[in-house]
Each structure stands twice: as structure tokens, then as C-alpha cells.
Amino acid sequence: MSNVDLSVKVGTLTFRNPVLLASGTVGYGSEMSELIDLNKIGGIVTKSLSLKPRKGNPPQRIVETPSGMLNAIGLTNVGVEVFLKEKIPFLKKFDVPLICNIAASSVEEYVECTKILTEEETIKAFEINVSCPNVKEGGLQFGNDVSAVGKITEKVKAVTDKPVIIKLSPNVSYISEFAKVVKKEGGDAVSAINTLVGTSFDIFTRKPKIKNITGGLSGPAIKPVALAKVLEISMSVGIPIIGIGGIMNWKDVVEFMIAGASAIQLGTVNFIDPAAAEKIISSLEQYCIKNKIEKLSSLTASYNL
């Protein structure tokens, strides 16, 4: 055992390490639990939940792009009721903080979902998805609108005592404006970034490879964009940041923390190497030992510009 302290704080939330698994890349935990020890992970963010089950978009939903992938899943999910009845009992077995991601088509639906889910003690915080690029209603319609993001933050905060994290879209000119309004309306943290809108064509049929025409770009291709957005927020808004975007290894984690992230989420890498989180956590510990860093959290916003 080393004396390195890997724990981090995001507002009032404490995680045993900064490595969380991003919404939509860990399902509701059951499949992933066959491949990694969830008790070692910093936290889990569930697949986006809506009030009613959502079927999602027709195929093709996924296409690979250089160093990345486009997805247009369309927020397929079991809905709040089934989640509480069928998914929570399994997740209760693990000693891992559970953050519930909520996606909705209206302010009222965000509020209603939060009201119901906040009663469940296993859920430690909410991540509000105002930035899904793949659904017609909600999603980016909110994510591109500063006042809508402010209103959602305010209304959701009013119905829960648990921390509320707003997941921001990178498809805006100034992401810091959105982080500012989240802070002003009482939001506890922001997650940055959701996917970037992208597309890809079949040059023979001239059709988009994704049925939804556009999808959300993720993977290492977006890491520099994500880092710049995290830095922008960090330099201008005093709000805790959970960094997301193309993290593949422990070095990427360190980079995000230096740029301003208090914790991070792994997304696309979970599809490629489901054990990535465990490997990254142990490598982060080695990095701290070698560089005589006692508290990993001291890296946050330690940039030297």
C-alpha cells in the first residue's frame, strides 16, 4: 500500500479516485461487472434515463471515424420506473457512487424524473444531460440555449438535495457562458464535454452512414477540443468540472486534471478495453509515487500557462 491519496472532491461529492464511467458506456452496470471490479471505480454514471422508456433511433447507429466514432443511439433507455425496479437492486450490491444521468424533452420532465429518483438512496447525484445531439426534442435544443440551461438547473435543484451536475455541449461558441449560468442557478458541477456533432458519408451510395444523418463524435479524436473546453471553464468560472472526451489512458487523465478537471469520465474506451478504468487507476497511483505527488487532487487546475 502506498500513501498516495487518489481521492477527489467534486463539490460535496467525494470519490475514492477520479475515474468515473460515462453515461451510455456502462449501461446499468451488469454487463460491465463481468469484466471489471466495479468496487474499484471512482463512480458510475448511468445511461440517460427519461420518464418513459425510449426505443431510440433505427440502425445504423454507429460508425467508426479516424481515431473516433460517431453514434446516434437516440437515448434508448428503460425509463425511470423500470430502472428503479429492475436495475437499482443490482447496482445496490456494489460499493460505488452512482450518478443518475437524466435526459428529457421538457423542463417538466427533467423535474419529474429528478423528483422520483431522488427518493432512491443509492443514487448519490444527478447528471443532467442537456446536450444530447441525437434527439429531436430536448438535447441540443436546450444545450445551445443559455437561459434554458439556467432554467433546468434551477428547477432541478429545487426538487433535490443531492448534487446536480450539468453535462454541457461542446457545440457552442463559449462553453464558459453555460458553466456560469449553471453556477448562478445553484448547480454543483459541470461535466464537459458531451459529443461533437459530426457525420460521415458512403461515397458510393452518397448516403450518410448513420441513419440519423448526424451523430455524436467521441474517442481520442475529440480530446484536444475537450481539453480546451475544460480549460476555458476552469479559467473563467469557479465551478467543479468533470472532464470527458477521448480519454484512453492515465496520461490523458493527468492532462485533463491539469487543465482544470476535478474528476474525469471514461467513455468510448470502455467499448474497446472494458478494463481500462482499473488499469488507469493503478497507473495513476504509480505516477503519483514516481513524481512524489501525495494528493492526486492537487493536480486539478495546476496548469502553468
Partner 1 sequence: MFVIDATVEKSIELDNQIYLLKIHSPQIAETIRPGQFLNIRVSDSYYPLLRRPFSVCDVEDDFFYLMFNIYGEGTKILANKRFGDVIDVLGPLGNGFNYNGDYDTAIIVAGGLGAAPFPFLIKKLPQDKNVYSFIGGRTFKDVIIHGMKNILTATDDGSLGYKGTVVDLLKVNLPMLNSSRIKIFGCGPNAMLRSLKEFCIDNNLDCEVSTESAMACGFGICQGCPIESVDNPDKFLLVCKDGPVFNVKDVII
Question: Active-site residue numbers?
Answer: 132
Question: What's CA 55's distance to the chain center, in Å?
Answer: 21
What residues between 215 and 254 interact with partner 1 by CB under 8 A? 219-221, 248
Residue 27 in contact with partner 1, rule: CB under 8 A: yes
Dist. CA 271–CA 155, nearest whole Å: 34
Q: Which of 13, 63, 172, 239 binds partner 1 (CB under 8 A)?
A: 63
Does residue number 292 form part of the binding site for partner 1 (CB under 8 A)?
A: no
One character per residue 28-47, x = contact with partner 1 (rule: CB under 8 A): ---xx-xx-----------x
Q: Interaction with partner 1 in 70-109: which residues (CB under 8 A)?
A: 71, 73, 76
Choice between 235 and 275, CB closer to partner 1: 275
Provide the pairing of β-strand 215-218 with 68-71.
antiparallel
Whichever of 62 and 159 has its CB closer to partner 1, that residue is 62
Q: Are the C-beta atoms of residues 18 and 253 closer than 8 Å to each other?
A: yes
- Does 17 participate in binding partner 1 (rule CB under 8 A)? no
Q: What DSSP assignment string belongs to 144-213?
A: T-HHHHHHHHHHHHTT-SS-EEEE--SSSS-HHHHHHHHHHTT--EEEE--PEEE--B-TTT--BSSTTS
Least Å distance, CB 8 to partner 1, is 24
Our finding on whether 132 is near partner 1 (CB under 8 A) is no
Strand order in the sheet with 196-198: 62-65, 68-71, 215-218, 196-198
Q: Which is nearer to partner 1, 269 or 288 (CB)?
A: 269
Grid coordinates standing for 92?
445496490
Q: Does 270 bind partner 1 (CB under 8 A)?
A: yes
d(CA 77, CA 194): 18
- What does 194-207 look like in DSSP terms, one character per residue? -PEEE--B-TTT--
Beta bridge partners of 71: 62, 216
**Segment lying near partner 1 (by CB under 8 A), choices 55-63, 89-97, 118-126, 283-291:** 55-63
Cell of 300: 486539478
**Binding-site residue total for partner 1 (CB under 8 A)?**
38
Q: Find the part of the chain contacting partner 1 (CB under 8 A) among 85-93, 136-144, 152-160, 271-279.
A: 271-279
Where do contacts with partner 1 occur on this chain (CB under 8 A)?
24-27, 31-32, 34-35, 47, 53, 55-64, 66-69, 71, 73, 76, 219-221, 248, 268, 270-275
